[in-house]
Structure 1
Amino acid sequence: MNYTYRIYPDAIQQTEMLEWLETCRGVYNYALRQLKDWIASRLCRVDRCSLEKEYIIPASEPFPSYHRQQNNLPKAKKEFLHLGKVHSQVLQTTIRRLHDTWEAFLKRGNGFPRFKKYGQFKSFVFPQFKDNPIKGFNVKLPKIGEVPINLHRPIPDGFVVKQVRVLSKVRGTQWYVVVTIESSVSVPDAQSHGRAIGIDLGLERFLSVSDGSFHERPKFFKSMQRKLKLLQRSATKKQKGSKNWEKAQIKVARMHHRIANRRKDFHLKTAHKLCDQAQTIFAEDLNVKGLTRGMLRKDCVDAAFGQFLSLTEWVCWKRGVYFAKVNPNGTSQTCPACLATVSKGLEVREHRCPECNYRTHRDHAAAEMVLHRGLESIVAQGLWGTETACQVGLSGVYDLDKWRGAGISKSDLGKPALYS
């Protein structure tokens, strides 16, 4: 589990951490260069090499794996003395970061690792600590020293600090630490129980719930776009590389940071509200990348559906709420009352079923259909009503008993009568 805190290093510590980031970036790029050269030297056969130039690496040279490149770090420190200023484990985790990206590329088949430009390498990791580095309102970082920290929530009892990631934001003017904590207590995954709801995400309404409630979509980027445009216009008039240009770029980065914070705050608050309403939540398994490539890509990126689903899944796990995704195909083209196909374009915002005369808002009907599919998958797996030890005393068990006894209306439960 990760906790993020704001830290306030002094000018000397900021300069040192910025130098560390650039050193890590150089190590990352050098290791990637070795990797690409080894691959390029084996792309063609010996009798078909280019007559102009070719990467010539002996056939006996092994692949530059993580362990080989890590073992070469002590030799590189003797040749490049500035590498010795950085903590040894920080450089090792930089090599590990490259090879994690490489293994992910081999697994998915795309996304070859890229070289990091100046300012693109924004974090480094201290992978282990003997003692708790957080003491009082300071965090002790090796070779950097004690840094004031805004400990807005304490480390829970029974948890130990495993690693600390130092993160730079807003062009190196704001610093954060991501503290990874661990406990020996295993938390079981939540089982489907209690009241169930389905949610549908959209642009007219950010969130529509199967019980009829909905949340309007705040336009975070569009509401601040005019101010952002003025800041960007001012930045383009400055001489590139000058101090005034850097100050203008910091103002632009700060505005982007503020927009992202407001969006994330809204997503977290909305996720907690959903967990207050139900103990089982179903959502559509959206193709988020596909949505960001269409005509409405600007609005979809501003809404950040992918971030909301990820945060909702995390909040549900933390609060013991069951969360699952269902197939999104045809949820808005199917009547949730009689399951008849009702074709309609995007301009039609009302659902009218010619078979059963069921009428409601289009997004509400889609949310009811999401609930229908979610409960159907749970019943098919035989998981509905499976009680665990962690369910004892929870309000969800009481809601489930009332639902079984038909103590709650269909409008409140989102048509559970289909599965009684």
Structure 2
Amino acid sequence: MFHLTYEFKLKPTQSQIAIFEDWLEQCRRVYNYALCERKDWIKSRSCRINACSLHSEYIIPADTPRPTYFNQSEKLTQAKKKYPELRKVSAQVLQQTLKRLEKAFVALWEQKHGFPRFKKPEKMRSFVFPQIGVNSIQKGKILLPKIGWVKFHQSREIPDSGRIKQAQIVKRASGWYILLIVQWDVDVPQPIPHGEAVGIDVGLTSFIATSNGLTVKRPRFFVDAERKLKLLQQRVSRKRLGSNNWHKAIKKVAKLHEYVANCRKDWHFKLSHQICNGVGMVFVEDLNLVGLSRSILGKHCLDAAWGQFFNILEQTCFKRGVYFQKVDSHKTSQICPSCGTDTGKKELSERTHVCSNCGYTSDRDVAAAQVVLQRGLAAVGHTVKMLVEGKFVGIPKMQESLNL
């Protein structure tokens, strides 16, 4: 199976926007009620039998099963008889909301994510149609269940060979968007190691440094917009909470955040295509991005968005047939790429790598990228082959040691 996501901007009417807003609110209420039910069940099992809380305690019968997606879906069917506003929303859309909560708890247990939180008003920004009818897309229009035909800006054609599996309606500061997941019943082979290889080291001074000597300065998207953001947030704080002017000011802040995110994402895409030009293998560091985001330089790490860049780079490599792999990031800036000697920890102010053993001198980030390249080639078993072909750029001492 092969999937691609097509994103288009919707052009709904005012009545359709009102339906979207109402559906988001109903999905938010279902999500919060289901989360409250799960939270109460967990708290009722958290105390000891002989030591109840002095303040209050959740009392739920011992034979009550743990709330799951399946039994909450059954209760949702019963709730529709009591609350008629739920009947206006597609049943599958509400079920997908419960499935979204189930995925949040699975991520809590398996991936160590945080405990799911309640959604405040206007914080639910998307809902999903898990099925779309056959021939539901015409030129610039899409047929949504219980809503009807909705116009959208079709910036590119959707191949007839693919099958639309899912549609997601997303609300953003700049308008409403639809994400269509298209499926092809084919097996696409993964790229295999071939051609010239490049190692990449990321940082805050230089966003990337490659093993062949290319360094790209980090653009400060969020930092450059902070002054304007501060001004807009001050205007929000001076408005009466909940008023029309307050909502307008909030929308301006959201638009600025979206603009910054779009600029960053566009730059990441362009840089990833530049990296893939003329190479067959790309190796990057497997960083602890969560730990970096919580450090003293966390704001700048989040502004750089290395995680998003790695995801985009991996997608670009797959699309262009380039092999992509993450390697161990331990001590990449401390090991000499020429002789393999551990040169010790460097201060952030030291921007040049100088090896006391072999005398190899290079830019600190470029040397780290060369270590990443070595580890990547060792992982795929192509180190000697690349050295023989003379494509191991910037490491003359190692080539001399092998008499190449």
Shorter chain as denominator, the TM-score bin is: over 0.9
Q: Which residue does the alignment assign to 1:33? A: 36
Q: Which residue does the alignment assign to 1:395? A: none
State the distance in 1 between where 2:357 and 2:53 align: 69
Q: Give the conservation status (yes or no) of the 8 Å contact 1:210–1:414.
A: no
Q: Which residue does the alignment assign to 2:336? A: 335
1:139 aligns with 2:142: yes
**Cα deviations across residues 351-381 of structure 1 (Å, max 9, x unaligned)?**
11122111111101010110011111111xx
Q: Give the conservation status (yes or no) of the 8 Å contact 1:195–1:413.
A: no
State the distance in 2 between where 1:203 and 1:244 align: 38
1:64 aligns with 2:46: no
Q: Give the conservation status (yes or no) of the 8 Å contact 1:197–1:414.
A: no
State the distance in 1 between where 2:332 and 2:311 align: 21
Q: Which residue does the alignment assign to 1:187? A: 188
Q: Which residue does the alignment assign to 2:157? A: 154
Q: Which residue does the alignment assign to 2:227? A: 226
Q: Which residue does the alignment assign to 1:236? A: 237
Residue 410 of structure 1: how far off its partner (Å):
4.1
Supply the AA of the counterpart residue of 2:318.
Answer: W
What SS is found at the alignment partner of 1:72?
helix
Residue 416 of structure 1: how far off its partner (Å):
9.2
What SS is found at the alignment partner of 2:124?
coil
Q: 1:54 to 1:369 in 2, by over 3 A?
A: same
Alignment RMSD (CA, Å): 2.2
State the distance in 2 between where 1:267 and 1:16 align: 35
- Greater alpha carbon shift after TM alignment, 228-237 vs 158-167: 228-237
Aligned positions of 1:13-412 closer than 5 A: 13-50=16-53, 53-170=56-173, 174-343=175-344, 344-379=346-381, 384=382, 406=389, 408=390, 410-411=392-393
State the distance in 1 between where 2:358 and 2:183 align: 54
Q: Which residue does the alignment assign to 1:391? A: none
Supply the AA of the counterpart residue of 1:411.
Answer: V
State the distance in 2 between where 1:259 and 1:132 align: 37
State the distance in 1 between where 2:226 and 2:65 align: 52
**Cα deviations across residues 272-311 of structure 1 (Å, max 9, x unaligned)?**
1111131100000111111112222221111111111111
- Greater alpha carbon shift after TM alignment, 250-259 vs 116-125: 116-125
Supply the AA of the counterpart residue of 2:348.
Answer: L
**Cα deviations across residues 202-237 of structure 1 (Å, max 9, x unaligned)?**
111111111111212111112222222221122221
Query: Structure 1: which 5+ runs fail to align?
Result: 386-399
What SS is found at the alignment partner of 2:198?
strand
Identity, % of aligned pairs? 44
**Cα deviations across residues 44-82 of structure 1 (Å, max 9, x unaligned)?**
344433465322222222222211111122210110010
Q: 1:410 to 1:378 in 2, by over 3 A?
A: closer
State the distance in 1 between where 2:49 and 2:323 align: 58
Q: 1:366 to 1:109 in 2, by over 3 A?
A: closer
- Greater alpha carbon shift after TM alignment, 142-151 vs 254-263: 142-151
What SS is found at the alignment partner of 2:128?
strand
The number of residue pairs the alignment matches comes to: 398
Q: 1:52 to 1:258 in 2, by over 3 A?
A: closer
Residue 109 of structure 1: how far off its partner (Å):
4.3
Q: Which residue does the alignment assign to 1:389? A: none
State the distance in 1 between where 2:397 and 2:289 align: 28
Q: 1:197 to 1:60 in 2, by over 3 A?
A: same
Supply the AA of the counterpart residue of 2:379.
Answer: S
Q: Give the conservation status (yes or no) of the 8 Å contact 2:211–2:373.
A: yes
Relative to the length of structure 2, the TM-score reads 0.93
What SS is found at the alignment partner of 2:189?
coil
Relative to the length of structure 1, the TM-score reads 0.89
Query: Structure 2: which 5+ runs fail to align?
Result: none
- Greater alpha carbon shift after TM alignment, 16-25 vs 98-107: 98-107
What SS is found at the alignment partner of 2:242?
coil
